[in-house]
A = this chain, B = another copy of it.
Amino acid sequence: MNSFTEENYIKAIYKLLESGDETVSTNAIAERMHTRAASVTDMLKKLALKKLINYQRYQGVSLTGKGEKIALSIIRKHRLWEMFLVEKFNFKWDEVHDVAEQLEHIQSDKLIEELDKFLNYPKADPHGDPIPDAKGKLLARKSKSLSQFSVNDVCIMTGVVDHSPAFLQYLDKTGFGLGNEIKIREVVEFDKSLQIVVNKKTFFISSDVAKNILVILK
């Protein structure tokens, strides 16, 4: 139906729209897809012809209902596969993304239904990202960045912003994972770095790290 490339563009547009803006720019897509703006324009014309995006030249793009459904189905597949790899195949959370990028394009409704069942209908992937249901319904997360909390707040880690292996491995090495209780012991005024307590141990993390850790108040 749609090529891998088309699927990847649609997903990129969806992700860019997630940050709140009404439309996304050609340049933003180009950067995310590691291509040139001219290539993006070519693809936008094609996707518009297929009624997957709303596009008028120079005006930015958004997804149509049809486009959004496709995006959500790809994201669903990506996250289910990531979950599968971690739960059943001994992958670490920093190893799953690249394989899931390939698996998300496999076409088979039965496969995805069985995958979902096999994993017992998980609500979130190994990074805490919510998994759209079979109908494309996605629960909005209410997590906030750890950097938004204050001294003596006690939070539960629910996700990450940065998904890079480097960041995930840093968290592993330090001993942070989803579900951990994090108590803020001190916020350094100067650089917004934090002193926190996790598993009864004290850690110092930069504001950069704090920004990339998602939590809910306990």
Chain A contact residues, CB within 8 Å of chain B: 85, 88-91, 95, 98-99, 102-103, 106-108, 110-111, 114-115, 118
CB-based closest 7 A-B pairs: A89-B114, A99-B108, A102-B106, A99-B111, A90-B114, A103-B106, A88-B118
Q: How far is the CA of A156 from the CA of B87 in the complex (A)?
A: 38
Q: How far is the CA of A189 from the CA of B138 in the complex (A)?
A: 65
Are A118 and B103 within 8 A (Cβ)?
no
Q: Would you list 17 pairs from A and B whose C-beta atoms are within 8 A, ordered by A residue?
A: A85-B111, A88-B114, A88-B118, A89-B110, A89-B111, A89-B115, A89-B118, A90-B114, A91-B110, A91-B114, A95-B110, A98-B108, A99-B106, A99-B108, A102-B106, A102-B108, A103-B106
> Which of chain B's residues have a CB closer than 8 A to the CB of A110?
89, 91, 95
Using CB atoms, name the residue of chain B closest to A105. B102
Q: Closest CB of chain B to A85's CB: distance in Å?
A: 7
Q: How far is the CA of A99 from the CA of B112 in the complex (A)?
A: 11
Q: Closest CB of chain B to A89's CB: distance in Å?
A: 4
Q: Closest CB of chain B to A126's CB: distance in Å?
A: 15
Using CB atoms, name the residue of chain B closest to A114. B89
Of residues A103, A106, A108, which shows the largest number of chain B Cβ atoms within 10 Å of its Cβ? A108
> Which of chain B's residues have a CB closer than 8 A to the CB of A114?
88-91
Q: Closest CB of chain B to A104's CB: distance in Å?
A: 11
> Which of chain B's residues have a CB closer than 8 A to the CB of A106?
99, 102-103
> Which of chain B's residues have a CB closer than 8 A to the CB of A95?
110
Q: Closest CB of chain B to A77's CB: distance in Å?
A: 12
Residue from B90, B102, B115 within 8 A of A107 (CB atoms):
B102
Q: How far is the CA of A8 from the CA of B190 in the complex (A)?
A: 60
Q: Closest CB of chain B to A50's CB: distance in Å?
A: 22
Q: Closest CB of chain B to A14's CB: distance in Å?
A: 23
Using CB atoms, name the residue of chain B closest to A89. B114
